Amino acid sequence: MSPRHTREVSLLGILDEPEDLPPTAWRERNRKLHEALVRRRLIDRRMLPEATVAFLDEALITEQNPAATDPQNAGHVRAQNENILHYGLILSVPRDVLTVALGAGFIHDLNKATGQPLRRDRYAVRTGLGGVHPAMRTVAERVGLNHLGDWTRSLLADAVKLKKGALSEETAERIDLCIVHHGLGSSRFIQRLIDGDNTWWGSEFVDAESGQRKLIHPPQPPISLASVIHDLADSTQQMQAGVAWLSKYPSGFWKDAGRSYFEMFSAHSTNPGREIAMSLADQVEVEAATCRGIIAEARLHGLVDDRGAQILARGLVSAMAPTRAWIEDSERSLSRAGARTVFHDVGAALGINPRRALAVLQDAGPGTAKAKKLEPVLVASARNLDLRRARGLARLIESRARPSSGD
């Protein structure tokens, strides 16, 4: 086995972790990933020291933090981190940019718990009367306001004061602003939510009769290249099939919607983007449009040139491709032997052809009696998709490794 292959297997072992990692294993994974990227000179350990990573992880990724123990959220955070590496490395961003984006990725969305305090600074959420809204009280507020939580801000400030391996004030601020930006910067869902345009929770943010805002979101911080990479990664994760997606949507948000697995996977609505996306196919359309908007804004602000925008656009296509292939239900795809669709995987597991597997998924959904037999098959299929993505990222990381300069 060549040294290069040995390194790739080791890196793949870090990336290819199950979604339901306990906090101790999640912290260990972050440590190993940080170490692997530092060793390959892709991130800067002086900007983001091991001691800082350990301090933030140990404070946030604990059994007591629901955002760290919920596999729906945990899978979301880890998938986004891998997308940060995908976009940052294909664009060959400077080390400081990738370090900031990944530093934000390690701790973003870990404010997401009822009762967590919100910021009281210039990024405070205000009530309709102008007062500071002190804490997240409901599920809707956790979803819409967690990027403005005070916990990560205060811990970043504490990391600046560490006696050994402290974060610089400049890096702490850059990471903090990256987290603040990602809420409205990467999610049309949250943008519409705080505008009251959401059939689930919109009334918690805007009074339906008067149109008056109940909660007022602060202005966005300035866009940066790190926030562009971070925002692209977050939005892309929302449309990537895998075990985390199965947990977060079909077995999570959409479980009680009465829709079949097929409808959740491949059905297209008549107006994607205006309604709440209730299928992966619709999520792909909505989030791809969001990503294209992020790339266009980065070009508008001069953060990337035309070539950089083209590289990111191609990266978006490659990030979407495995998911598009997984839910492809065209006759051509179903009839092709070896196609990597969920229908082929279900068919192979049940001993039926892909067309029949599609019919089975049209007739079953989460919570049904048939789901008990199907769920392990779907998880295995999604797990294979995750593994293919991890292998591709491991190869990309190795191809971008920089030779040591002795620093």
Q: In the prediction, which pLDDT does 405 show?
A: 61
Give the separation between CA 142 and CA 129, rounded to whole angstroms. Answer: 21
Q: What is the DSSP letter of 127?
A: E
Residue 136 to residue 327: CA distance in whole angstroms: 36
3-state helix, strand, coil in the chain (%, to 5): 60, 5, 35
Q: Enter the tokens of residue 216.
A: 């007022």
Per-residue confidence (pLDDT) for residue 92, from 0 to 100: 97
What is the pLDDT tens value at each position of the chain, 407 positions in all? Answer: 444 444 444 788 888 876 678 899 999 999 999 999 999 999 999 999 999 999 999 999 999 998 888 877 888 888 899 999 999 999 999 999 999 999 999 998 898 888 999 999 999 999 988 999 999 999 999 999 999 999 999 999 999 999 999 999 999 999 999 999 998 998 888 999 999 998 889 999 999 899 999 999 999 999 999 999 999 999 999 999 999 899 889 988 898 889 999 999 999 987 766 778 899 999 999 999 999 999 999 999 999 999 999 999 999 999 999 999 999 999 999 999 989 999 999 999 999 999 999 999 999 999 888 899 999 999 999 999 999 999 999 999 999 998 876 55
190 neighbors 144 (Cβ within 8 angstroms): yes
Q: How far is residue 79 from each of residues 56, 101, 142, 225, 262, measured CA to CA in Å?
A: 19, 14, 19, 20, 23
Q: Which CATH fold topology does 3-327+364-400 show?
A: Catalytic domain of cyclic nucleotide phosphodiesterase 4b2b (1.10.1300)
Neighbouring CB atoms inside 10 A of 126's CB total: 14
Going from N- to C-terminal start, the domains of the chain cover 3-327+364-400
The alpha carbon dihedral of 73, 153, 179, 165 has a sign of: negative
What is the pLDDT, as a whole number, of residue 226? Answer: 98
